[in-house]
Structure 1
Amino acid sequence: MERFIGQYKFSIDNRRNYDNLIVFAVVITLLGVIFALGMGNVSAAPGDTIYVNNATGNDDYDGISATWVGGMVGPKATIQNGTNTVDDNGRVNVADGTYNEHITINKNVTLLGQSQIGTIIDGTASGRPLIITPGLTVNLTNFTIQNGNADSGGGIYNEGTVIINNCTIRQNIAQAYYNAMGGAIFNLGTITLNDCTITQNTANSFSYSGSGGAIINAGSVTINSCIITQNTAQGGSSSGGAIFNNGNVLAHYNVFNGNTALTGAAISNYYGYVDAQYNWWGSNVDPSSQFYGVLYNPWLYMTIKATPNNINNGETSQIIASFNNLFDGTTVTDLIPTIGHIPDGILVNFSSDALGTVNPLSGTTINGIASTTFTAGLNPGISTITSSVDAATVTTGVTINENVPPLVTSTSPVNNALNVVVNKVIQITFDRNIQLGTNPWIELKTSSSGTAVPYTTNIVGNVLSITPNSLLAVGTSYSVILHSNSVINLVGIGLAAPYTTRFTTETPPVVTSTSPVNNAFNVALNKVIQITFDKAIQLGTNPWIELKTSNSGTIVPYTTNIIGNVLSITPNSLLNAGTKYTVILHSNSITDMQGNGLNTPYTTIFTTTLPPVVTSTSPMNNEVNVAVNKVIQINFSKAIQLGTNSWIELKNQYGQIKPYTTSINGNTLNITANAAFARGTTYTVILHSNSVTSTGGAGLTTPYTTKFTTTTT
């Protein structure tokens, strides 16, 4: 008979030599341990219980106290020292912390971590975290074993009898050029794994074969209620993504999912026996493609059930996703969870369609089941509820019965709304899907006179739309009445009492101000007329707006512009001075954004500014003995400015032009000669038409002349 470990072959004939090699290896290992103990400074008496704490401990302490008491009484710092110190069949209590160690256990011992996630043995990618030598019995509880690295058994190498409870073995790697075996565990002895998580371990061969991404077994392995996921055997003819077996494996009530290898993505049984019945393989479908030479049938099967499965609106149903089922490919049978079940804590996601809601949206398994609560919505039908785990999805239906009449939840426009557009489609929303009743009586009418308004109706889901056949009247109050049973739910239950809502349509735009104000005087000739309304506006169709002289009715050409609620009217040229103008906005020349126009014409009147009049001069007209450095000042009846291309003359009696500069201060024009006037000389100042204007642009209508004579002394 021949026996294989990975791709290595051993015959019965050379088994004796193999045993001798094992004995030799054990002797060498024991000598190494004795040497290490001789070199180490272990100053403590062994005891039945030893405490380890890498944060507060010291390997020189005796280890008999969980805390430092004084002197040498306190916890050990390393697990290795703790196991070396403890009595045979004793216990080592290990506090939370990360222990970067490569531990060799050489006696019967119980290792108890403070917590599974907090007590970590880390191989630092430089060796195995844990070795159990032959002939020993070891109990390991509440640890995380990680980051181991070896050619075989990256996390644990076992030749004894080991019981591992509530541990996580993760991210370990076995890598070798030819044969990498057991990313997490290499077992030559007996191992029992209870409630453990073995994940993300790798057996990686650079050339020949990686075997047992999580476990390679040449002894006996029992696995109960564990989660074994995302382990990989890779390289060459890789096999056994989770387990490669050359011995005996008993694995029940576990989760195997996401493990990969070329052969036997989950388990490859090369030589020996594997009983892997009653496990969850990531879906309900036949998992046979994940194995090689494995007894796997029947397997755990997920179902979903609603209790009750027939409810009324707003009522609830308990939804249970259960893994307490066995499936042999043909028949689903019940599994009694007290005998065994999938590990607790498996995440199950729930969802429902639009007919209801589930809460919570996810749950975790306890004793093989996870649950949520479904609440029926307001509409009848058969709601589909879904639960999903890994690649599995199952559904169940809950029948929802409607037992209450529809209720109005909102209206558009809201009740008693104002300024509703005249083309409004009235929408009434209910708390559930609806339909018109038999011979429905729905009224749309004016509130004051009761005049009926013709309309059409349309229903989409839970929304009733009422569309008037023509535009509503502006500034009018309307009532909508849904009489009893005019609207019903989908099973025929109608409104118990009439429902009424009211609204008032918007008023036409109203002028709130004008610039210039009505009947304004002294308006600038270049004035842009602005008329402001109480709302945003637009020009009506074929708008009729007049700008004309009030007396003769002469039309003034213009352009218009609208920004928001302001109409601007810009004459194409300057207005005439001292002239009255009328602006008329005829009916519907201006509308709001919904098309509601002015009901009656709107008129505003203004008078443009008069030209400035000279009120005095300095020097006065025909004044004599005027100083030769005199600044000539001409005062007007109003504030002035120079006209465009203003023509002002300053010349002597011989017609010779005197250069000057001008300045204006309010209503005073200052003329300053560039040089002193000649003595005994008469000068004339002529302000030609439009050389000076009012600030509104009205200019002198005729030339103005004044004279003076300078002094002779």
Structure 2
Amino acid sequence: MKKHIINTILILITAVVLCGVVSAADYTVGPTETYTTIQSAVNVATDGDNINVNPNNGNPYVETVNINHDLTVKANGQVTVQAPTPASDIFNIQSSGDGTTIQGFTINGPTTARGVFIDHADNCKIINNTIVNCLDGVQAQNSNNVEISGNTISYTGSDYAYGIYSEHGSTGVFSDNTITMTGNGVGDCYGIFAEGASHKITGNTITITNTGTGTATAILLESQSGSGHNIEVSYNTILADAINNGESALDFAETHSDHAFGNNILGGQIANRGSDNHLNFNRIVGYQFIGAVGEVTLDALYNWYGSNSDPGSIMHTVEGATINYNPWLVMNINADPTTIYTGQTSTITADVYKDSANGDHSADASKFFSGPQVTFTTNLGNVGSKSITVDWNFGSATAILRGDEGAGSATVTAADGQVVSTIVNILQAPTVNAATTTAATGNTVGMQTTGAPLVPLALAVLSVLGGFAVTHRKQ
């Protein structure tokens, strides 16, 4: 009886496990499949199901996809989805669609609505899509723990437009996206507009410009009822290609306790209207100015401005604001080793780990910027050629000097706005004479005409004879 009960329990446990394993269903969408539209597959799917979308014979799927379950909707190849009208969203994740993933699609405008709209849905992922000419590439509203990563988002137009727009207290991670926003009219355009708290904006490449009368902002951090705080902006590359109407690389708009570090910012202005915000270990070049407004303090210590000189002339404050920027980072160069022979190499390293007060920040190298760029040159030998341009790598850049043009003093420079130099002494390598042989004399054993030594031959013969003797005794 006891054995029967145990077996019954094991069967029930196995059944429960198997039910859990097979609960997710897979649906395929395509022109020759049962489901020829994405929405038709979504309508029959339930939580945890997967929808795989095949190409549509080179044509886009023209539809708005409304998702109200936890689904994974994934493109199987080159799949384009396009809005049926300019005012229609393309993917619309509703409040019951918590946990939904949209992956691998080309989401195509033109539309005056959104490529992906996440509305009161948590834990959603929008990954590895190409989103073109949608007024809002991805918008999250009242949605927490949203991941928007690996997407390529672009817009060209005259309206107000957003690459990523997170509002009304939404939280999430926006990472490794490539965003290009080009305004050409009265509307402003934004790469990432983050309203709320606890976002992480990291590893994105954002290019912004506005050739019209509107402005352009790469990253804007906005407070919503005082909730905007503790946002991390890290390791982004920001390019403000044109300075027409005060393009901003980064705007702390009445937020507080935000941290921007390790960013590579080329062009545009940085604005601060919030309190206790931090701007450290960034590369900031080609800028207009860094400004602060109101009775606030911006911590702007330890940034690299493309010059070892005091950057105070680009700091602007009004209405009692303060910017603490001193000390700033300075550029140095060294060679290891400083003396080599012809044919050898020396490692040339440029870094910005020291500050203007001689403080050393190499222990914080993981917080420094990467990306463009340092140019190394030499007047003797080569560093790949006479010059080579390499990216920064967490505040440091290296080149290899090869002493392949003879002896002398090589002056090696590194330039990123500021030019620094070091000397490598290249000595002529000593001549190594070929080994010579002399006739053997004295106690040296002579050689037979075959060149074989007599002693080893004699020992070999004795060994063989000894072996025969031993074999004979054993018999």
Give the residue type in structure 2 aligned to 1:380: A
Q: Could you tell me how far apart the structure 1 residues matched to 2:52 and 2:303 are? A: 37
How far residue 147 of structure 1 moved from its aligned partner, in angstroms, is 0.7
Question: Which residue matches 1:311?
Answer: 340
Q: Could you tell me how far apart the structure 1 residues matched to 2:178 and 2:153 are? A: 6
How far residue 164 of structure 1 moved from its aligned partner, in angstroms, is 0.6
Give the residue type in structure 2 aligned to 1:110: C
Corresponding residue SS for 1:331: coil
1:135-174 pair list within 5 angstroms? 136-147=144-155, 152=160, 154-159=162-167, 160-173=170-183
Please tell me whether Structure 1 or Structure 2 has the larger radius of gyration of its CA atoms: 1
How far residue 64 of structure 1 moved from its aligned partner, in angstroms, is 4.5
Q: Could you tell me how far apart the structure 1 residues matched to 2:75 and 2:205 are? A: 30
Match of 1:245 among 236, 253, 265: 253
Root mean square deviation of aligned Cα: 4.0
Question: Which residue matches 1:331?
Answer: 358
Give the residue type in structure 1 aligned to 2:125: L
Q: Could you tell me how far apart the structure 1 residues matched to 2:221 and 2:54 are? A: 32
Contact 1:53 1:76 in 2 (8 A): no
Corresponding residue SS for 1:108: coil
Task: Output one character per residue of 1:8-37: Cα deviation in whole Å (capped at 9) or x when no partner.
Answer: xxxxxxxxxxxxxxxxxxxxxxxxxxxxxx
Task: Output one character per residue of 1:117-147: Cα deviation in whole Å (capped at 9) or x when no partner.
Answer: xx321225xx222322235442211112221
Contact 2:209 2:216 in 1 (8 A): no
Query: TM-score, normalized by length of structure 1?
Result: 0.41
1:531-610 pair list within 5 angstroms? none
1:607-622 pair list within 5 angstroms? none
2:294 is the alignment partner of 1:281: no
Q: Could you tell me how far apart the structure 2 residues matched to 1:233 and 1:270 are? A: 21
Q: Could you tell me how far apart the structure 1 residues matched to 2:324 and 2:216 are? A: 19
How far residue 194 of structure 1 moved from its aligned partner, in angstroms, is 0.8
- In terms of fraction of residues, the more helix-rich structure is 2
Contact 2:183 2:211 in 1 (8 A): yes
Identity %: 21
Contact 2:240 2:247 in 1 (8 A): no
Q: Could you tell me how far apart the structure 2 residues matched to 1:53 and 1:276 are? A: 48
Question: Which residue matches 1:45?
Answer: 45
2:127 is the alignment partner of 1:113: yes
1:123-272 pair list within 5 angstroms? 123=133, 127-134=135-142, 136-147=144-155, 152=160, 154-159=162-167, 160-173=170-183, 176=186, 183-190=190-197, 191-202=199-210, 205=213, 210=215, 212=217, 214-215=219-220, 217-218=222-223, 219-220=228-229, 221-230=231-240, 234-235=244-245, 238=246, 240=248, 242-243=250-251, 245-248=253-256, 249-259=258-268, 265=288, 267-271=290-294
Question: Which residue matches 1:349?
Answer: 375
Cα gap change, 1:135/1:267 in structure 2, threshold over 3 Å: closer, same or farther? farther
Q: Could you tell me how far apart the structure 1 residues matched to 2:266 and 2:144 are? A: 32
How far residue 317 of structure 1 moved from its aligned partner, in angstroms, is 0.6
**Structure 1 residue ranges without an equivalent (≥5):** 1-39, 69-74, 406-713
Cα gap change, 1:234/1:241 in structure 2, threshold over 3 Å: closer, same or farther? farther
How far residue 213 of structure 1 moved from its aligned partner, in angstroms, is 5.6
Question: Which residue matches 1:596?
Answer: none
Contact 2:94 2:118 in 1 (8 A): no
**Structure 2 residue ranges without an equivalent (≥5):** 1-38, 84-88, 273-286, 318-322, 432-475
Contact 1:245 1:268 in 2 (8 A): no
Contact 2:75 2:103 in 1 (8 A): no
Give the residue type in structure 2 aligned to 1:200: I
Contact 1:228 1:257 in 2 (8 A): yes
Contact 2:54 2:75 in 1 (8 A): no
Q: Could you tell me how far apart the structure 1 residues matched to 2:182 and 2:158 are? A: 9
Contact 1:174 1:183 in 2 (8 A): no
Corresponding residue SS for 2:423: strand
Q: Could you tell me how far apart the structure 2 residues matched to 1:382 and 1:356 are? A: 10
Q: Could you tell me how far apart the structure 1 residues matched to 2:240 and 2:47 are? A: 41
Question: Which residue matches 1:13?
Answer: none
Q: Could you tell me how far apart the structure 1 residues matched to 2:251 and 2:373 are? A: 24
Q: Could you tell me how far apart the structure 1 residues matched to 2:66 and 2:162 are? A: 31
Question: Which residue matches 1:382?
Answer: 409
2:424 is the alignment partner of 1:401: no
How far residue 310 of structure 1 moved from its aligned partner, in angstroms, is 1.1
Aligned residue-pair number: 342
Q: Could you tell me how far apart the structure 2 residues matched to 1:254 and 1:306 are? A: 27
Query: TM-score, normalized by length of structure 2?
Result: 0.60
